[in-house]
Amino acid sequence: MKLYKKTLAVVAAGLMTFTGISAVQAQQPSKPECIAPAQPGGGFDLTCRVALNGFASTDILKEPMRTVYMPGGIGAVAYNHIVAQRPGDPNAIVAFSGGSLLNLAQGKFGRYNVDDVRWLAAIGSDYGVAIVRDDSPYKDLKSLMEAFKADPTKIVLGAGGSVGSQDWMKAALTAKAADVDYKKMRFVAFEGGGEALTALRGGHIQAYMGDAAEARTMLDGGAPIRVLAVFNDQRLPGSMSEIPTATEQGFDIVWPIIRGFYVGPKVSDEQYQWWVQAFDKLMQTPEFAKLQEQQGLFPFNKTGDELDAYVKERVKFYAELADSFGLIKK
């Protein structure tokens, strides 16, 4: 009887291999959805759009995916919703960003932490940049830093988000690199890049701590700006390849802004691996590379265990960084 059962198992396995059907494929989501933890428009919507359009351009996902908007707390509402109410739902993937990880590190997601979901896939990255007006006296990062150090009150930095946000962190790191007490820096928070650019044009701020993809769009549109540095350890490809990094100008400022997805903590291993393999396949297609380019994302493709390790390392780094700036409540 044991031999008979073993023979049946071998035959079944052979048939599955022959027909191309696997246990993982059998778990394909029936009602796939991407949760964007914000209102339509913006980074989370962009992240979901890459997944929707990417899968729609291939036959990896049989059923059409839809986007569900769930704003609140730069991802906090969606995080709590998935962990508490839909922990085992294999249909839902949730968009996250580096800002989500920064908030997790500061305990802004309530009682849940980085270990309470399954990190699925990173589909690209953006990077911080330092932007000034094209007629600014600051021609490179060094000249801006020297002026900043000489008199912090005369250099007003602007960006989106309040104290502790990603953009505030970029400004604080800039101050730190210039040997300026971050508590003395003048920082103005805006709702988005459009408002910051208007303030920059009007001379209300001297530098804008923005994102590379955003800056590239501005430059392509003829905006009167100059990008002094990219906050990465190597230059970016394409049209921004001539812009030097902060590192090569002598300042240790690196700020990647990853975009990706996670699923609920009780999604089964089979269902989780189906999504991992789906994104692995998608990332190998020319359609995906084209979508990254269209959405202003730079290649940063990680899935499964590799992404999980990266996310947890970044949250640890963000926690230490936030603590050094006095943002962690004791």
**Beta carbons of 71 and 38 less than 8 angstroms apart:** yes
CA distance 268 to 270: 5
CA distance 254 to 126: 11
**pLDDT tens digits for range 105-144:** 999 898 999 999 999 999 999 899 999 999 999 999 999 9
Written as tens digits, the pLDDT of the chain (330 aa) is: 444 444 444 444 443 333 333 444 447 899 999 999 988 877 888 899 999 999 999 999 999 999 999 988 778 999 999 999 999 999 999 999 998 999 899 998 989 999 999 999 999 998 999 999 999 999 999 999 999 999 998 999 988 767 888 888 988 998 899 899 998 889 998 766 678 888 998 999 999 888 888 788 788 888 899 999 999 989 988 888 999 999 999 999 999 989 999 999 999 999 999 999 999 999 999 999 999 988 888 889 999 999 999 999 999 999 999 999 988 876
Taking alpha carbons only, the member of 86, 99, 95, 119 closest to residue 36 is: 95
Query: What DSSP line would sit under 140-163, residue for residue?
Result: SHHHHHHHHHH-GGG-EEEEES-T
**pLDDT tens digits for range 189-236:** 876 667 888 899 899 999 988 888 878 878 888 889 999 999 998 998
Query: What DSSP line would sit under 192-224, residue for residue?
Result: SHHHHHHHHHTTS-SEEEEEHHHHHHHHHTT-S
Instruction: Give the three-state DSSP class for 44.
Output: helix
| pLDDT at residue 218, as a whole number | 81
Mention every residue, 6+ apart, whose C-beta is less than 8 A from residue 146: 178
Task: Please state the length of the chain.
Answer: 330
Cβ count near 247 (within 10 Å): 17
| Structural domains of the chain in order of their starting residue, each with its CATH number | 34-110+117-125+257-324 (3.40.190.150), 126-255 (3.40.190.10)
Please give the C-alpha separations between residue 229 and each of 220, 245, 249, in angstroms, as whole numbers: 17, 5, 8
101: its two tokens = 């990880």
Is 189 exposed, middle or buried, given 0-12, 13-18 or 19+ CB atoms closer than 10 A?
Answer: middle
CA distance 312 to 303: 13
Residue type, 58: T
Taking alpha carbons only, the member of 8, 22, 74 closest to residue 47 is: 74
| pLDDT at residue 12, as a whole number | 42
For helices 193-201 and 212-220, the axis angle rounded to 10 degrees is 60
51: its two tokens = 């997944």
**Backbone torsion region of residue 296, taken as left when φ is above 0, otherwise alpha when ψ lies between -120 and 50, otherwise beta:** left
Cβ count near 76 (within 10 Å): 18
